[in-house]
């Protein structure tokens, strides 16, 4: 079997005396969605920052297509085909859709002796790429990004990454700030990206969303990989328990249930004085 | 070629977006964020036309506020670009007199050719801008503080060196007819030639912001500096270039003022600090960066100049001008916020299509 598109081996990261990541090994293949699950503070963001070239690992190796790589900067990572989309899209709310789409890579055309920004082409491509991801409401690339909904901004950022030829798409909590419908739309876009052969790394703490799109799952707990399994190998409850750190979640649920039973769905009276 | 091909295939894959007619509808005009500044300017123009009488609208009256607008405007344009990119430059307040004194001491006191004084003054502007830019990048201290420091440092340097070199805080300058014609003359006895330099600056800055890649970088930097850097924009170089342009423009105004008035004073120019910021903010540029337009900056500059000069044509005490400008500034910002919000609310054309 060919080497995975992206493979991390024994990645450690410490900031001074604080160890943030211990011995993380992961792989992701083309056309596969790897879900990275973990509670707040589990080290997900640090891992993303290593993947996207913001931080360098203290030790451990990264390989793409079997070749060892090290990223000096976010720009370097994106030159290797790694695109990162952040929770709020990483877009510019007061810029037009066309301008935001092509930021840093603006198309130009000749105008007499001058080279000018090709607004028309930028707008057309941006709108077309968004339409391909099912955002049909947008028909004017001159509109400001701030007028888009959260899901549409995610779609814009993903469309941008796809257009510029990303082979690995890192989505950092793309559904966390979205409503149910919008989140479903973003999940559909994730599957579309997967179908194009892109390797998607989907960071979330929403187990339902992860199970909907994921092929492969990794759970991070306090900077270490606590579990690594494929689709269908674990139930939703088992994953939730893992993320929350084992049995505590079940205990908490039982506790909540007993409150509901005893106090008719209200918090126990006098609890705040206890 | 490849991007062209990619574009073609992308266009073929889905239906092209519907084409819009070239005539903007009233709805989309109202949603242009410059509308606020336009309404503001028309309001003050009407106000002073009524209370200022015939003199205000005469050529002489128009010249008085256009002259103020052109000097302020040349500085407000690069300040506007800096503000769009998320920075401020207060040092222009010292740059104007520093440049005036440079040309007056070199070409007036020492009698060197005027071109030497002009180049030295403009070179000083570029140098101070470069220092501002490098300090902002290297120290990560907000540009407000950095340029506040250079404002004072440069003022002290100008005063100290002027007294040492010329023994005075005011130096006379006699310039030849060519320099006079280019930088310090009145057309028809009324309109300063800086008006043409302002128009040239408007065209250049307008081109940069709207039609060049650099303009897109400026907008992106002000919107989100980290994302802009990650997208591959050379943010450090852009920052330095912007500070150098504001230094250059302030130096230009100082230089042309010295030629116009045939002398230079150490203490002139402090009013440009706040006046340029006021003009830019009235023009709808977001103080925190990420948004602004050249049309807005020009309208804001005109509005400021009309109030500043129009008051003399009314029967009111000129002391009230600052009160009007203060109220106007607040009103303009609130109005600009409203129009920006309207620009952000996306209303698709096809109303039948449910959200």
pLDDT tens readout for residues B156-165: 999 999 999 9
Residue B228: list chain A partners with CB under 8 A: 103-104
Express as a percent the part of chain B with pLDDT over 90.
54
Residue A116: list chain B partners with CB under 8 A: 207, 211-212
Q: Please give the domain boundaries of chain B with CATH numbers for all domains.
A: 35-336 (1.10.3470)
Q: Does B46 touch chain A (CB under 8 A)?
A: no
**Among A81-85, B79-83, B108-112, B244-248, which is the least confidently predicted range?**
A81-85
- Residue among B5, B11, B85, B213 with most chain A CBs within 10 A, to mutate: B213
User: What is the arithmetic mean of pLDDT over B99-126?
Assistant: 95
Cβ of B228 and A129 within 8 Å? Answer: no
Confidence of residue B303 (pLDDT cuts 50, 70, 90): very high
What does the pLDDT read at residue B8? 41
What are the residue ranges spanned by the domains of chain A? 6-234
Interface of chain A toward chain B, CB-CB under 8 angstroms? 52, 74-75, 78, 84, 90-95, 99-100, 102-108, 111, 114-117, 121, 124-125, 127-129, 131-132, 137-141, 143-144, 146-148
More reliable by pLDDT, A189 or B53: A189
More reliable by pLDDT, B298 or A221: B298
Confidence of residue A242 (pLDDT cuts 50, 70, 90): confident
Residue A143: list chain B partners with CB under 8 A: 346
What is the value of ipTM here, to two decimals? 0.77
Indicate the average pLDDT of chain B: 85
From B343, which residue of chain A is nearest by alpha-carbon distance?
Answer: A144
Cβ of A140 and B20 within 8 Å? Answer: yes
Cβ of A116 and B290 within 8 Å? Answer: no
Whether pLDDT at B350 is above 50 = no
Whether pLDDT at A169 is above 80 = yes
- Residue among B4, B13, B28, B231 with most chain A CBs within 10 A, to mutate: B231
- Residue B36: helix, strand or coil by DSSP? helix
Cβ of B223 and A92 within 8 Å? Answer: yes
Residue A81: list chain B partners with CB under 8 A: none
Q: How far is A147 from chain B (nearest CA, A)?
A: 4
**What CATH superfamily is the domain A6-234?**
P-loop containing nucleotide triphosphate hydrolases (3.40.50.300)
What does the pLDDT read at residue B349? 45
User: What is the arithmetic mean of pLDDT over B104-108?
Assistant: 94
The tens digit of pLDDT for each residue in A101-144 reads: 998 888 889 888 888 999 999 999 999 988 888 888 888 888 88
User: What is the arithmetic mean of pLDDT over B245-270?
Assistant: 93
What does the pLDDT read at residue A246? 56
Cβ of A105 and B232 within 8 Å? Answer: yes
B245 within 8 A of B142, measured Cβ to Cβ: no
A10 within 8 A of A25, measured Cβ to Cβ: yes
**Among A242-256, B30-44, B283-297, which is the least confidently predicted range?**
A242-256
Whether pLDDT at A267 is above 70 = no
From B352, which residue of chain A is nearest by alpha-carbon distance?
Answer: A137
The tens digit of pLDDT for each residue in A67-76 reads: 888 888 888 8
Express as a percent the part of chain B with pLDDT over 70.
88
B43 within 8 A of B301, measured Cβ to Cβ: no
What is the DSSP track for B101-113?
HHHIIIIIIS---
Indicate the average pLDDT of chain A: 83
Please name the residues in contact with A234: beta carbons below 8 A apart, sequence gap of 6 or more: A217, A227, A242
What does the pLDDT read at residue A268? 54
**Measured distance CA(B350)–CA(B355) in Å, rounded:** 10
| Total beta-carbon pairs less than 8 A apart between chain A and chain B | 115
Phi, psi torsion values for A63, nearest 5 degrees: -130, 145
Burial of residue B188, with CB atoms counted within 10 A of its CB: 0-12 exposed, 13-18 middle, 19 or more buried: exposed
Confidence of residue A269 (pLDDT cuts 50, 70, 90): low
Residue B236: list chain A partners with CB under 8 A: none
What is the DSSP track for B322-340?
HHHHHHHHHHHHHHHHHHH
Cβ of A140 and B17 within 8 Å? Answer: yes
Q: Does B339 touch chain A (CB under 8 A)?
A: no
User: What is the arithmetic mean of pLDDT over B69-85?
Assistant: 96
Please name the residues in contact with B228: beta carbons below 8 A apart, sequence gap of 6 or more: A103, A104, B217, B220, B221, B235
Spatial CA neighbour of A31 closest among A207, A190, A228? A190
Q: How far is A154 from chain B (nearest CA, A)?
A: 14
Measure CB to CB from residue B216 to each of A115, A117, A125 and give the nearest one.
A117
Tracing tokens 């209303």 back to the chain, one arrives at B347
More reliable by pLDDT, B122 or B187: B122
B 158-177 residues inside an 8 A Cβ radius of A = none
Q: How far is A116 from chain B (nearest CA, A)?
A: 5
């Amino acid at each position: 079997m060919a080497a995975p598109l992206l493979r991390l081996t024994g990645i450690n990261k410490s900031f001074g005396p604080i160890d943030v990541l211990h011995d993380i090994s992961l792989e992701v293949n083309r056309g596969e969605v790897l879900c990275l699950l973990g509670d707040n503070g589990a080290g997900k963001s640090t891992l993303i920052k290593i993947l996207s070239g913001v931080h360098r690992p203290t030790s451990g190796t990264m390989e793409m297509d079997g070749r060892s790589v090290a990223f000096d900067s976010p720009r370097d990572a994106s030159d290797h085909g790694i695109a990162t989309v952040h929770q709020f899209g990483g877009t510019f709310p007061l810029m037009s859709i066309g301008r935001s789409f092509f930021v840093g890579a603006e198309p130009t055309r000749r105008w007499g002796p001058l080279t000018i920004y090709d607004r028309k082409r930028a707008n057309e491509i941006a709108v077309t790429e968004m339409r391909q991801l099912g955002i049909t409401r947008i028909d004017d690339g001159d509109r400001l990004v701030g007028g888009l909904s959260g899901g549409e901004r995610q779609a814009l950022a993903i469309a941008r990454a796809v257009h510029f030829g990303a082979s690995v798409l890192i989505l950092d909590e793309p559904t966390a700030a979205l409503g149910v419908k919008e989140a479903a739309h973003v999940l559909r876009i994730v599957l579309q990206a997967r179908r194009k052969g892109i390797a998607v790394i989907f960071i979330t703490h929403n187990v339902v969303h992860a199970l909907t799109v994921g092929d492969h799952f990794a759970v991070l707990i306090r900077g270490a990989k606590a579990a690594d399994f494929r689709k269908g190998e674990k139930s939703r409850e088992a994953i939730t328990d893992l993320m929350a750190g084992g049995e505590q979640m079940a205990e908490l649920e039982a506790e909540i249930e007993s409150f509901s039973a005893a106090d008719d769905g209200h918090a126990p009276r006098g609890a705040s004085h206890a | 070629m490849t991007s062209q091909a990619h574009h073609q295939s992308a266009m073929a894959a889905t239906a092209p977006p519907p084409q819009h007619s070239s005539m903007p509808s009233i709805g989309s005009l109202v949603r242009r964020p410059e509308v606020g500044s336009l309404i503001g300017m028309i309001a003050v123009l009407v106000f002073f036309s009524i209370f200022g009488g015939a003199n205000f609208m005469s050529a002489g009256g128009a010249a008085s506020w256009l002259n103020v607008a052109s000097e302020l405007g040349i500085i407000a344009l690069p300040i506007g670009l800096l503000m769009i990119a998320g920075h401020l430059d207060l040092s222009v307040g010292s740059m104007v007199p520093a440049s005036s004194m440079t040309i007056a001491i070199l070409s007036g006191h020492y009698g060197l050719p005027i071109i030497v004084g002009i180049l030295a003054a403009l070179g000083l502007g570029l140098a101070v801008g470069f220092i501002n830019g490098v300090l902002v990048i290297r120290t990560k201290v907000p540009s407000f503080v950095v340029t506040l420091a250079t404002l004072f440092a440069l003022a002290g340097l100008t005063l100290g060196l002027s007294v040492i070199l010329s023994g005075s805080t005011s130096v006379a300058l006699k310039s030849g007819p060519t320099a006079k014609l280019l930088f310090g003359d009145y057309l028809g006895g009324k309109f300063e030639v800086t008006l043409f330099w302002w128009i040239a600056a408007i065209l250049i800055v307008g081109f940069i912001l709207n039609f060049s890649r650099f303009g897109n970088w400026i907008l992106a930097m002000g919107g989100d500096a980290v994302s802009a850097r990650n997208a591959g924009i050379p943010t450090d170089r852009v920052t330095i270039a912007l500070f150098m342009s504001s230094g250059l423009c302030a130096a230009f105004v100082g230089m042309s003022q010295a030629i116009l008035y045939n002398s230079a004073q150490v203490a002139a120019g402090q009013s440009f600090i706040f006046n340029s910021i006021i003009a830019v903010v009235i023009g709808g540029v977001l103080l925190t960066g990420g948004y602004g337009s050249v049309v807005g900056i020009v309208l804001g500059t005109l509005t400021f100049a009309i109030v500043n000069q129009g008051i003399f044509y009314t029967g009111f005490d000129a002391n009230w001008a600052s009160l009007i400008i203060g109220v106007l500034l607040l009103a303009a910002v609130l109005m600009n916020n409203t129009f920006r919000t309207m620009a952000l609310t996306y209303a698709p054309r096809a109303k039948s299509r449910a959200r």
